[in-house]
A and B are shown apart, each in its own frame.
Chain A
C-alpha cells in the first residue's frame, strides 16, 4: 500500500446500495441499513470510484469540475474517502473490507 495520498485507490463496498437523484446520491450502509446523503461534491467523488482511479486522479477531475485548487481537491478527496471508509462504504484497495455479510 502506498503512503502517498494521491496514489491511494478506493473501491465501493460490494454490497453497498446507492441511488443518484439530480446529481446527488444517497447511499445505504450494508451493515446498518442507514442512509447517507452525499452533496454534489461527494456524489462526484463517489461516481469516480471505479476501483482503479487513484485519489490523485479523482482530485484532478474534481479540481476541473468544481474550480478548486489541486491541493485543496486532494485534501477534500482524501478526507471524504477516509470518512466513507470509517462507515465501511468504501475500502482502500489492498485492505480487506470488514465482514459485511447479512
Chain B
C-alpha cells in the first residue's frame, strides 16, 4: 500500500493505492502533473529543488489530511461519458471514460476507481481539488498567476487571450523586478475567509529536463491576491486599457474562467457562489493589453491600480 499526500491551495489529500495495481510512474506522475507540491509519506518520492528524490518528508508525515481518497486501479472502468451528479449535500459522483469516483466533501472521504492511465488519474485529481476548492470559495482558474512584491496578480482568459505571452513579458522584462510566474495556465485561487481577500497558490509544472519551474514559488500559505484581470488583446493601434468590473459581471467573468468544475447543477451553483465570494474579495477588471506596452508592463499596471 502506498500513501501519497497531495497539496493544492492549502488543501491536503491523502491517497492510498494498492502497490500491485500502481502504474510504474504513479507517484511521479501525480507529483509531476497534478500538484507540484505533492510529497510522499510512504517513502517513494518527494520533491526536491532539483527534481524528485527518494526519501521521507518528516515535516509532513502524520499531518492531518483534508480528504482521504482510496484509489483502486482496474483494467476496465465503465465510467461512460463525462458526467456528474449530486448524491447528497456536498456529495458527488462523477464518471468519464476509465473513471468512476464518489466523493463526500463534508466527510472528507472518497473512492476513485480508475484505469492505469496517467491522464485519467490526473484529470480525476484536478476535479477532486476543484470540488474541494469550490465549497471553500475558490477554484482552479484558467489563468496566468504572477507574484510581485509579495502580491499576486491573476490574468485569466480563454485560449489565445495572451496569458502565456503576458506571463513571459511580466516576469522577463528589466523592470519586472522580483516578479515570478507561479503558473501560466492554471491558478489555484481561494478566498481568504479568515483575513479577507483571496490567495493564490503555485501550481508548478515540470519542464522537460525534470526540474520544477518555480517550485513552491508562492509558499505553502500562498500569496495575497492584489487583483484579477480578465485578459483580452487590444486592437491594432490601441493602447492598453482597463475597465473595472463589478457585481454580476465580475462574478460571471470569474466563473467563466473556472476550470475542472463538476458538471452537476449543485456543483455549478457552488462554483457561482465561489465566484461571487472571489469578486467581493478582490478587485476584478478587464484588461485590453497592447503588446506595444510590453516594455512598461508593470508601470501600466501600477498606474491603473494606484488610480493614476
A21 touching B248 by the CB < 8 A rule? Answer: yes
Partner-contacting stretch, out of B108-116, B231-239, B264-272, B297-305: B264-272
Given that A17-B265, A21-B247, A37-B249 are contacting pairs, would A26 and B255 also be in contact in the complex, using a CB cutoff of 8 Å? yes
B252 close to A (CB within 8 Å): yes
A68 close to B (CB within 8 Å): no
A102 touching B264 by the CB < 8 A rule? Answer: yes
A50 close to B (CB within 8 Å): no
B265 touching A19 by the CB < 8 A rule? Answer: no
- Of the residues B85, B251, B252, contact of A102 by C-beta under 8 Å: B85
In the complex, the number of residue pairs spanning A and B with C-beta atoms less than 8 Å apart equals 56
A residues near B248, Cβ cutoff 8 Å: 19-22, 24-26, 37-38, 43
A residues near B84, Cβ cutoff 8 Å: 102
A86 close to B (CB within 8 Å): no
B256 touching A17 by the CB < 8 A rule? Answer: no
Q: Which residues of chain A from 9 to 63 have any CB-CB distance to chain B below 8 Å in the complex?
A: 15-26, 28, 30, 33-38, 43
How many chain A residues touch B (CB < 8 A): the figure is 22
Complex CA–CA separation, A38 to B246 (angstroms) = 13
B128 close to A (CB within 8 Å): no
Jot down 22 A-B pairs with beta carbons below 8 A, ordered by A: A15-B265, A17-B269, A18-B272, A19-B272, A20-B248, A21-B248, A22-B247, A24-B247, A24-B249, A26-B251, A26-B252, A26-B255, A26-B272, A28-B268, A28-B272, A33-B263, A35-B255, A37-B248, A38-B248, A102-B85, A102-B263, A102-B264
